[in-house]
């Protein structure tokens, strides 16, 4: 007698009885399963709505921050323009002072006036 014949003979062993292929379907009644699925869908919908609300709040905050950044950039531009204007005025006054100093030295040289930085007269 073949020793493997005993295990595979249909009278003694049915290999498919050890597996329950309908395990998940038999565990719950159809209504219970449907209600469970509906609860899960409702939970996911609530979660999605909460995430959407959070994203909306974040978008509003980002928009507010963008407006603030734009305002600050305009203020920085205005201050830079003012600084450039002041620098131009300083350069203009510096050129004028340099011309005046040159003219003064020319006059001093022509008149033979000794010049000293410690002179109180000048």
For tokens 């340099």, what's the residue? 98
How much helix, strand and coil, in percent to the nearest 5, is found in the chain? 75, 0, 25
**pLDDT tens figures, 9-34:** 555 555 555 555 555 555 556 788 88
- What does the pLDDT look like over 74-83, one tens digit per residue? 999 999 999 9
User: Residue 40 and residue 107: Cα distance in Å, rounded?
Assistant: 99
Could you read off the pLDDT of 27-70 as tens digits, one per residue? 556 788 889 899 999 999 999 999 999 999 999 999 999 999 99
List the one residue out of 18, 38, 43, 17 whose CA is nearest residue 28. 38
Enumerate the H helices of the chain as residue ranges. Answer: 3-8, 23-27, 30-111
Average pLDDT over residues 96-107: 93
Q: What is the pTM of this model?
A: 0.49
């Amino acid at each position: 007698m073949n020793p493997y014949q005993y295990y595979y003979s249909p009278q003694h062993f049915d290999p498919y009885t050890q597996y329950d292929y309908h395990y998940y379907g038999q565990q719950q009644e159809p209504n219970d399963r449907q209600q469970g699925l509906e609860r899960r869908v409702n939970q996911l919908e609530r979660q999605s709505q909460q995430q959407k609300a959070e994203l909306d709040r974040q978008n509003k905050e980002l928009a507010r921050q963008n407006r603030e950044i734009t305002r600050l950039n305009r203020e920085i531009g205005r201050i830079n323009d003012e600084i450039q204007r002041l620098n131009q005025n300083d350069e203009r006054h510096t050129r004028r002072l340099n011309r005046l100093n040159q003219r003064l030295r020319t006059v001093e040289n022509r008149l033979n006036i000794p010049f000293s930085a410690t002179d109180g007269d000048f």
